[in-house]
Structure 1
């Protein structure tokens, strides 16, 4: 079985790495601080009280920040990265359900659904001989066939791990702990996991023919 991934990174991705990071991390930080300072926000902006408790206020601001992030990404980077785009759709749908039904379960299950979706898609695609990892990360690097296969397996399993981890956290801990964990727990875990893949990436990185000639 062979795996393919022929996506190449765009010039915008190479030139705006910090902007990409800000666009992906910004909405999460807004979600965290809005939940933390929910009562203060409601006091300053009474209209927010119509949304419900602090978590619902944070969810509404999270949704708005996510949409703005996607718009900026489209305008500045000239494309919508698949991972933030899919996550954004789920945020808007489940966030809206949470606020409308005043049920926190929907927004809490959003990370579970998104991570499970990516995990199943990656491992499922690999079963059909296609590595989808390049699409998920917009091909931040180029690897040989074996490299894509190994990295796809690792990320597929990692996404499923994050899905299970989110379920454990939101079902067993307080709202504040869950929100904080989304930012200060999940992000560091993901960064550590990503850095741990660097030896594999370096070992299997291939140089485009055009760059070799130059």
Structure 2
């Protein structure tokens, strides 16, 4: 049985947010450069992606060592990053890494949608211990988050297909996470009346 361990909240944030920020700054440093490796020319974006994958895995390894656990979402995201980061490097095509965001958000929306069709909240299955809430509240939040992930997936497709790589990197690093965080904070505020009070149990 895995033992959960406490961790400094600031250190946890550094380990979770550090790799994406590192990717952003590495890309800014390398975006105008090209690199010849094994007779193949790689852009700065490709090299930044190749560097990002082990950075993220290293941060997750440290987080797992310090806390004794990783969330299902973290594991799923890591698998997607490894897979699409590998395709990006193998085919020397930045489009694979850009599509990764669409598929991550899209799969989250699909999974939540399947649960909704079964009149279940898979979100509650993942977060219920952390955030006790009545079933009705979980269903409302799940419907709204399903819609949010769908919009984010569509937005990513629009951004990477119609805008510059520079702009995509900025929106990927800051825009989408901030939008999702703001959405969640707003929902938790609105759904406060559905929260369970442990003292009443």
Instruction: Indicate whether 1:173 and 2:163 are aligned.
Output: yes
Mind listing any 5+ residue stretches in structure 1 that lack a counterpart?
1-9
Which of 176, 179, 192 aligns to 1:202? It is: 192
Alpha-carbon distance in 1 for matches of 2:87, 2:144 = 33
Alpha-carbon spacing, 1:169–1:136, altered in 2? closer, same or farther (3 Å): farther
Deviation at 1:51, TM superposition (A): 7.3
Q: 1:52-201 alignment to 2 at 5 Å?
A: 52-137=42-127, 139-201=129-191
Alpha-carbon spacing, 1:139–1:52, altered in 2? closer, same or farther (3 Å): farther
Asked if the contact 2:34–2:42 (Cα under 8 Å) also holds between the matched residues in 1, the reply is no
Give CA-to-partner distance per residue, 1:84-142, whole Å, 9 cap, x none. Answer: 21111011011111111101111010000000000110121122132111355575311
TM-score normalised by length of structure 2: 0.87
Alpha-carbon spacing, 1:139–1:180, altered in 2? closer, same or farther (3 Å): farther
Deviation at 1:191, TM superposition (A): 1.9
Alpha-carbon distance in 1 for matches of 2:174, 2:126 = 23
Deviation at 1:21, TM superposition (A): 2.8
Alpha-carbon distance in 2 for matches of 1:26, 1:51 = 28
Alpha-carbon distance in 2 for matches of 1:76, 1:138 = 23
Which of 1, 26, 33 aligns to 1:34? It is: 26
Greater relative contact order, per chain length (Cα 8 Å cut-off, separation 6+): 1
TM-score normalised by length of structure 1: 0.82
Give CA-to-partner distance per residue, 1:140-180, whole Å, 9 cap, x none. Answer: 31100100000011111111111001000000111111111
Which of 6, 18, 33 aligns to 2:10? It is: 18
Mind listing any 5+ residue stretches in structure 2 that lack a counterpart?
none
Asked if the contact 1:113–1:163 (Cα under 8 Å) also holds between the matched residues in 2, the reply is yes
* Greater mean alpha carbon deviation, residues 17-26 or residues 75-84: 17-26
For this pair of structures, how many residues does the alignment match? 199
What RMSD in Å do the two structures reach over aligned CA positions? 2.7
Give CA-to-partner distance per residue, 1:171-211, whole Å, 9 cap, x none. Answer: 01111111111112112211211221122342111133xx5
Deviation at 1:58, TM superposition (A): 1.1
Alpha-carbon spacing, 1:39–1:166, altered in 2? closer, same or farther (3 Å): closer
Deviation at 1:41, TM superposition (A): 8.9
Q: Secondary structure at the match of 1:37?
A: helix
